[in-house]
Structure 1
Amino acid sequence: MSIKLLAEDDRPREKFLLKGKNSLSDAELLAIIMGSGNREDSAVELARKILNSVGNNWHNLSVLQISDLTKFKGVGEAKAISIVAALEIGRRRAAQEVPEKIQITNSQETYKILAPFLADLQTEEFWAIFLNQNNRIIGKSRLSSGGINQSVVDIRILFKTALEHFATGLVVAHNHPSGNLKPSQEDLKITKQIAEAGKILNIQLLDHLILAQNSYLSFADENLL
Structure 2
Amino acid sequence: MKKNKLLILVVALIATVSFTSCLNDDYETRRNRPTAAELKEATNTIQGLYQGKLYRLINNERTGRTEKTDSANTSWEFKDDSVLVIKDVPSKLLAANVTNSALKQAIEALPNQQVKCSVSIFYVKPIQYFIIPFRVDLGQLTYDGKTHDVSISFYFSEYYSYGNYVSERKITILRLIEAGVVVDGVLDKSSYKEPDSFYLISDPRA
**TM-score class normalised by the smaller sequence:** under 0.3
- Of Structure 1 and Structure 2, the greater helix share is in 1
- Of Structure 1 and Structure 2, the greater strand share is in 2
Q: Greater CA radius of gyration, 1 or 2?
A: 1
TM-score for both structures, normalised by structure 1: 0.18
Highest RCO, 1 vs 2 (Cα 8 Å, sep ≥ 6): 2
TM-score for both structures, normalised by structure 2: 0.19
